[in-house]
Structure 1
Amino acid sequence: MSDVLQSAFNAFLEELKNSESLIRLTVSTLLLILVVAVSRFLLRRFIRRNIQSSEMRRRWLIQLRNILLIVLVLGLVVIWGHELRTFALSMVAIAVALVIATKELILCVSGALIKGGARSFNIGDRIQVKEFRGDVIDQNLLTTTILEVGPGRSMQQRSGRMVVLPNSLFASEAVINESYSQDFVLHTFSVPFLRQHEWRPAKQKLLELAQKHSEPYLEQAKRHFARLSYRTGLEQPVVEPRVTIQLQCAEELHLIVRLPTKEHDRNQTEQAILAELFADDDYLGDYLPRV
């Protein structure tokens, strides 16, 4: 890019050297400056001698200075107009080339500014951008690095892969921050059943297990979400564990479990509940034969 800038500037200088009117332009510029300087000297002298009021004299001197400055600038533009247009076109071409060559870098910097201004997330937060989901471990002006969590949105364990995201994504894509509440989160997971399965006792068992695993820090989680609601001005969410039903189709339903848990214990809590749920019963009923 520096070579392009240098070549454009050299072309501008070469055009000036080869121009037959260069001497005329220089002489015209010197004459204009001389005329303005002489006019300023004579007019200032006339004003000082013929205007008695100091306030009026100061006002005329200021107006004279401004008028002569405008005349000088307009005169220079008229004299050097063609050369200035040539130089301006060269600079526009350089600017366009510069923007095209650094488009991705500009988008990355813009994304970093948007991300920082909106305070979308911090180091350690779990985020999702498009299909990329993971824990943020590093961020700079151009990229953000995450440890992938998945596969899928329902998984809560790391896959062992590191993903480097260009910050340009944050300028055009929505960011989901799963750790916005920091210490505690309202974790949700789904347990699918067929309508013929014994899902009613499973629903009751899931509620009991959710209450059991959240009981040690339920009051602490309530205070945490109360402080968060006060700080953000939002309504305080219901923190107590709950199990709801979601119908996916006519033959299938999902039991949606929601419970408060510590931010870094989501996967362990979910797996512990599922392990205890199916430890003594598979809830198949008479739909499939037992072995």
Structure 2
Amino acid sequence: MVWVDDPKEIVLVIGIIWGAIFVALRGLIQNMVGSLILMVTRIYRIGDRIQVKGVYGTVMDIGVFRTTLMKLDEESGDHPTGQITTIPNGILFRETITNTSRELSFRGDEIRITLPFSANIQKTRELLVDIVSRHTVEIQDKAAREIEHMSDRKYLPEFGTEPTVFVHLDKHQILMVVKYYTESSRRAEIKNGIVEEISQVIPGILDVER
């Protein structure tokens, strides 16, 4: 039998033990609670494309403790890299999660082309808008409907869905950036089609950045 002169010492020891147990199990508890929150709130679902803490990929599985992702290469138009990674479900308490698939089926994208100073800026701008519009006309209409539908439930700033071209002049060349909305699930396919036509139709291109 152990005798303790001061009962406060027992309380202190018990508190230290419980504190150590809580610290050891905190991550486990957060992951379990995170899993329950995901089930209820549906922040992301299997098949969604999410970005969290520098990791971007398609959700393959949502387990009790961890979520499995197929990593995507955003630079190449969301092409699967073949790399599979996992993130703890408790990460939603610590990091911002961006879901590019939820509620809106489209997302912004851009293509950069470099031209010599001798290029006709106005004509090139018109060609870019025409090419991109033909590849994304259905997406523009769908995006407009989705925006209108969402604005009935949530605040959304007004913005158009048509392609826009920005021009930047350098000392030796012209940089033109065309921004447009594309279907999230077909981003790579749509971008490849646009780039191929731009390369064939617009003369004098020095470089195309996807």
| TM-score (normalizing by structure 1) | 0.59
Residue number among 170, 191, 195 corresponding to 1:274 in the alignment: 195
Write the letter of the residue equivalent to 1:15.
V
The 1:265/1:15 distance shift into structure 2, 3 A limit, reads same
In our comparison, the structure showing a higher alpha carbon Rg is 1
Shift of the alpha carbon at 1:159? Answer: 0.8
- Contact conserved, 2:101 with 2:184, CA < 8 A, in 1? yes
- Report SS of the residue matched to 2:114: strand
Shift of the alpha carbon at 1:227? Answer: 0.3
Write the letter of the residue equivalent to 1:198.
A
- Report SS of the residue matched to 1:270: helix
Gaps of 5+ in 1: 1-13, 20-80, 286-291
Write the letter of the residue equivalent to 1:191.
R
CA distance in 1, matches of 2:10, 2:67: 40
Write the letter of the residue equivalent to 2:114.
F
Shift of the alpha carbon at 1:149? Answer: 0.6
Q: Greater share of helix residues, 1 or 2?
A: 1
- Contact conserved, 1:145 with 1:163, CA < 8 A, in 2? yes
> Which protein has greater RCO, CA pairs closer than 8 Å, 6+ apart?
2
Write the letter of the residue equivalent to 2:165.
V
- Contact conserved, 2:32 with 2:90, CA < 8 A, in 1? yes
CA distance in 2, matches of 1:213, 1:283: 22
Shift of the alpha carbon at 1:250? Answer: 5.2
Shift of the alpha carbon at 1:267? Answer: 1.3
CA distance in 2, matches of 1:121, 1:214: 26
The 1:108/1:217 distance shift into structure 2, 3 A limit, reads closer
Shift of the alpha carbon at 1:114? Answer: 6.5
- Report SS of the residue matched to 2:192: helix
* Partner in structure 2 of residue 123 of structure 1: 46
| Identity between Structure 1 and Structure 2 (%) | 23
CA distance in 2, matches of 1:204, 1:157: 29
Shift of the alpha carbon at 1:275? Answer: 0.5
Equivalent pairs counted in the alignment come to 205
- Contact conserved, 1:121 with 1:180, CA < 8 A, in 2? yes
Residue number among 135, 140, 147 corresponding to 2:58 in the alignment: 135
Gaps of 5+ in 2: none
Shift of the alpha carbon at 1:208? Answer: 0.5
CA distance in 1, matches of 2:58, 2:15: 43
- Report SS of the residue matched to 1:237: coil
The 1:233/1:275 distance shift into structure 2, 3 A limit, reads same
* Partner in structure 2 of residue 160 of structure 1: 82
- Contact conserved, 2:128 with 2:198, CA < 8 A, in 1? yes
Shift of the alpha carbon at 1:191? Answer: 1.2
Shift of the alpha carbon at 1:272? Answer: 0.3
CA distance in 2, matches of 1:176, 1:199: 39
CA distance in 2, matches of 1:115, 1:168: 10
Q: Does structure 1 residue 90 correspond to structure 2 residue 13? A: yes
Range 271-280 or range 227-236, more displaced:
227-236
Q: Does structure 1 residue 213 correspond to structure 2 residue 135? A: yes
* Partner in structure 1 of residue 178 of structure 2: 257
The 1:96/1:145 distance shift into structure 2, 3 A limit, reads same
* Partner in structure 1 of residue 71 of structure 2: 148
